[in-house]
Amino acid sequence: AAGVIQSPRHLIKEKRETATLKCYPIPRHDTVYWYQQGPGQDPQFLISFYEKMQSDKGSIPDRFSAQQFSDYHSELNMSSLELGDSALYFCASSGPGTDKSGYTFGSGTRLTVV
Amino acid sequence: LAKTTQPISMDSYEGQEVNITCSHNNIATNDYITWYQQFPSQGPRFIIQGYKTKVTNEVASLFIPADRKSSTLSLPRVSLSDTAVYYCLVGYTGGFKTIFGAGTRLFVKA
């Protein structure tokens, strides 16, 4: 079965650079969620989109922005990168009929800021 | 969103049954209880979800008492590969964010 696809898997950026992370949800899923997980920490909710509109917002820095496109894929844009942004970034998706099966997470993008 | 409290870590041995209890005292009427498993450097993986009483699937059971203020994830006959972090989440599955609390780090020993 198709899963949530995230790209790239690994990304190395320098401080103050910009990064773009992509997420392709499971087909027919209309909701995308972004999470950040620092080393040894629990996942922190950043932002979510439903039907291409922002649906909820968590602890997302102002330097970050995200959107969901007409094909339901989503991109997380991160500017003025800081060392503390180094983390695993997970995307999850859900859609009609997934109420009893939770969210499906991708394998994540590991961002390293040097 | 209801806050959850779980043990920080647990140890077990292969072949034993492991029960991880989660407290969620202010769970709302339309909230479901969902458990996820996470291995290092991987995304969380759905294990089981329930609303009340008992739910069982091929990998785990979930026990929820009548007041729903807690829940217990039961893993039968754990193996070394069950070593992971387990998260209990409470929320409305139709909502748009799921908040992860501090999970339980399960260590299964040979």
CA separation for the pair A4, B3 (Å, rounded) = 27
pLDDT above 60 for B1? no
| Cis peptide, bond prior to residue B40, ω within 30 of zero | no
**CA nearest B95: which of B50, B35, B30?**
B30
User: Which of B85, B98, B101 faces A103 most closely, judged by CB atoms?
Assistant: B98
User: Which of B41, B46, B93 faces A99 most closely, judged by CB atoms?
Assistant: B93
Contact A33 B98 (CB under 8 A): yes
* Model confidence pLDDT, tens digit, residues A24-61: 999 988 899 999 999 989 999 999 999 999 988 998 99
Lowest mean pLDDT among A5-14, B85-94, B101-110: B85-94
pLDDT above 60 for A63? yes
**DSSP-derived pairing of the beta strands B104-109 and B9-13:** parallel
**pLDDT score for A19:** 98
Phi-psi category of B24—alpha, beta or left, where left has phi over 0 and alpha has psi -120 to 50?
A: beta
Contact B41 A100 (CB under 8 A): no
Q: Does the beta carbon of A74 lie under 8 angstroms from any beta carbon of chain B?
A: no
pLDDT interval class at A79 (50, 70, 90): very high
CA separation for the pair A63, A43 (Å, rounded) = 19
* Token digits of residue A48: 């979510």
Q: Which residues of A touch B99 (CB under 8 A)?
A: 45, 58
pLDDT interval class at A103 (50, 70, 90): confident
Cα-to-chain-centroid distance, residue A94: 13
CA separation for the pair B35, A101 (Å, rounded) = 10
pLDDT above 70 for B85? yes
Grouping H, G, I as helix, E, B as strand and the rest as coil, residue A27 is coil
CA separation for the pair B74, B63 (Å, rounded) = 8
Cα-Cα-Cα-Cα dihedral sign, residues B27, B33, B39, B42? negative
